[in-house]
Structure 1
Amino acid sequence: MNSFINELFLNKYKEKLLEKAKKVGAGDISQLKEKLKDEIEEKKSEFSKIDPLKELDNYLSKNQNTAHDPKIIKINKPLDQKKIDSEKLNKKPYKTLNSYIDVEKVSNLKREEIEFIWNSRFMNKENTLIAATDLETFNIMLSNAKKNPIFLLPLPKDGVSDIANSNSNKPHKNHELHLIQWIFSEKFTTHCIITTLAEYKLNKEFSRPHTTLTFHSELADSKDIILINGLVESENIKLPEAQYLVLNVQKFYGGLKNSVEPNKRRLKLLNDFTSGSSEFNLQDLINESDIHS
């Protein structure tokens, strides 16, 4: 490749090189190269000592007034060349309340109107869970969640239709355990994710939740309302099953309206599980999780 490039160079500048050869008393290009050998090597040595970027940086630092001259192109150091986009940097990896509704606009509305808009926002969305609660109830729920960020809940697997039927008091024989995990993303956003225990055992931190609940508290202080939305993201979990699990999340963490104080038996199960107490009993958990309990 180098010989090919050299040949192209010689063909292009052959006449000028021959003219230069005559001036220095050389018969041809080969003699010219030999005569100028020492001079060429000396120039190479001089150029190798020069750092062009350093030289340019020194020049610019001595001539600050040239910084505004459009003819001068300043070359920054590699780290300075990166321009960080502040919007991308501050973009959250999850949706906040503003992702769904204009918080500033709805803040002028009554609580009932906000709740109506919230429900309407998800009216035609499939596999969604929508709710709203008051600040007092949410604070109790949040307090228990921070003390017990991980928990287990059983899901009956022997007839989903019986779960929603208030007239059915048949005991459920088969249950599937689900892992409840709370994530406190920021001041106004709290997540509760639900994963089958089998999935979690198989994939650990890489397990994919089948249901995700998000609690938005931007309007808590001004309107005494926490807006909640959820999504069921697995074909293996039906919407009524997810609703059953969410209802039990509320029951155990004290998030049911008209029942601000959490049931002491359920609260004990929460604390026993978190502390790893030998008193934690799976059958007691199943009994307390029953829809009619």
Structure 2
Amino acid sequence: MASYQTPAFRRILSTSSRALRASNQRRWAQVHDVRFLATTQQPRAIVDKYREKLDRKAREEGLSSIDELKAAYANKIDDLKKQEIAKLASLRAEATPQQEPTPPPSPSSTPGPAPSTTETTSTSSTSPSESAPSASQRKKPAASGVKPLAEILDLPKARELPEKELTAIWRLRHASNPNSLCAVIPAATYAAMEATARRNPAFVLPVPREGQGAEIHFLQWVFDDVETKTASVLFTQLAEFKARGEFAQPHTTITHHADLAEGSASGLVLMQGQLVDGRGASVEDARWLVMCLQRFYGGWDGDVAGEPDAERLRRGLERRRLLEWFTNADPNFSVEKLLEETERMG
């Protein structure tokens, strides 16, 4: 996982605070100074409180600074983050309704007639989510805890399904869980999103609060290119991320499965996600964040009804600039500009 550059984060947030104080005539100006200063100022008290202990720990490890200490523990931090993804994947598995096994026929029963070879097979009989993988398809659980798509769907059957049918099956699979999120993404759209995400693996997004301005959330992409061939996104409240850094607990995790992007009838990437109750976000918040994620990372640039092509391209370019500015700690980035862009999406 790409580690986040804390000095860049401080620079961005301090620039954002100044921009907010200067924009008191804008739509959310009445609460900017209250909400955003409460969620974007650096937690200096927390840093100062533990600086002595961190310095002592660095010296004990033979290191010269806290930054070197953080770099030395980067792998451990990465492992803890993957464990968090594993917990959320386990919650998804527990929330998925289990099928009752079909009892074997009684020896005394009379077998029915064989089905006609010309009869069209129904969706329910070919549903890839209802066919258990064969022994050769079963794999050991991935170290990240994320299930590969082969353990969720019968991939050979799923590859043969057209887009409409696969979309219906994927949505029905998640319909019974109120905290579940799912989507189907065209392969070309996802390819653009993934390329952008690898260059910009972290970003911030606002969630509007009626009468209270907006609340900032931090996102990180995590790629597992070897075992599960998935890309996950962790959403965390910015206040939680500031307080606990890499140990912060995300409220929502979504995972993209690209197994069917090529060599299948549908050419789709399947996305599934899970919201954890009690971490300060609702399902509606999570849906908004996922929509913003897709728009900022290159999805849906050509799917805005009534918007001229030139304006649509300009908005897509502006979103991309905000991403790059944030990644590079460019002073041009500000929360005010981020809010203006997300207002246009609302």
Classify the secondary structure of the residue corresponding to 2:262: helix
Identity of aligned residues (%): 32
Cα distance change on mapping 1:156 and 1:92 into 2, 3 Å: closer
Structure 1 residue 138, shift from structure 2 partner:
0.5
For 2:272, the equivalent position in structure 1 comes to 229
Are residue 269 (structure 1) and residue 310 (structure 2) matched?
no
Q: Is the 8 A contact 1:211 1:234 kept in 2?
A: no
- Give the equivalent residue in structure 1 for 2:194: 142
Q: Which residue of 2 aligns with 1:280?
A: 333
SS in 1 for 2:146: coil
Contact 1:133 / 1:257 at 8 angstroms: preserved in 2? no
2:184 counterpart letter in structure 1: A
Q: Counterparts of 1:92 and 1:153 in 2: how far apart (Å)?
A: 25
| Larger RCO, structure (CA 8 Å, separation 6 or more) | 2
Q: 1:89 to 1:141 in 2, by over 3 A?
A: closer
Q: Deviations over 1:159-188 (max 9, x none)?
A: 6xxxxxxxxxxxxx5211110100111263
Q: Secondary structure at the match of 1:290?
A: helix
Aligned residue for 1:210?
Answer: 251
Separation (CA, whole Å) in 1 of partners of 2:329 and 2:143: 38
Name the CA distance, whole Å, in 2 between partners of 1:247 and 1:157: 16
Secondary structure at 2:203 match in 1: strand
* Structure 1 equivalent of residue 288 of structure 2: 244
- 1:89 positional shift: 7.8
Name segments (4+ residues, structure 1) moved above 3 Å.
87-92, 257-262
Deviation at 1:88, TM superposition (A): 4.7
From 140, 153, 157, the equivalent of 1:101 is 153
Equivalent pairs counted in the alignment come to: 195
User: How far off its partner does 1:158 sit?
Assistant: 2.4
Are positions 1:184 and 2:234 aligned together?
Answer: no
SS of 1:218 mapped into structure 2: coil
State the alpha-carbon separation in 2 of the partners of residues 214 and 251 from structure 1: 17
Describe the shift of the 1:292–1:88 C-alpha distance in structure 2 as closer, same or farther (beyond 3 A).
Answer: closer
The amino acid across from 2:215 in the alignment is E
Q: In the aligned structure 1, how far is the partner of 2:335 from the partner of 2:206?
A: 9
User: 2: distance between equivalents of 1:96 and 1:141?
Assistant: 20
Task: Look up the equivalent residue of 2:219 and give its one-letter code.
Answer: I
2:237 alignment partner in structure 1: 196
Give the TM-score normalised by the residue count of structure 1.
0.62
- Deviates further, 177-186 or 249-258: 249-258
Q: Structure 2: which 5+ runs fail to align?
A: 1-138, 304-311
RMSD: 2.3
Query: Contact 2:141–2:147 (CA<8 Å) still a contact in 1?
Result: no
Q: What is the Cα deviation at residue 240 of structure 1? A: 0.9
Give the TM-score, by structure 2 length.
0.53
Deviation at 1:95, TM superposition (A): 1.6
Distance 1:225 1:182 in 2: 20
Structure 1 gap segments, 5+ residues each = 1-86, 160-172
Which residue identity is paired with 1:249? L
CA distance in 2, matches of 1:116, 1:278: 45
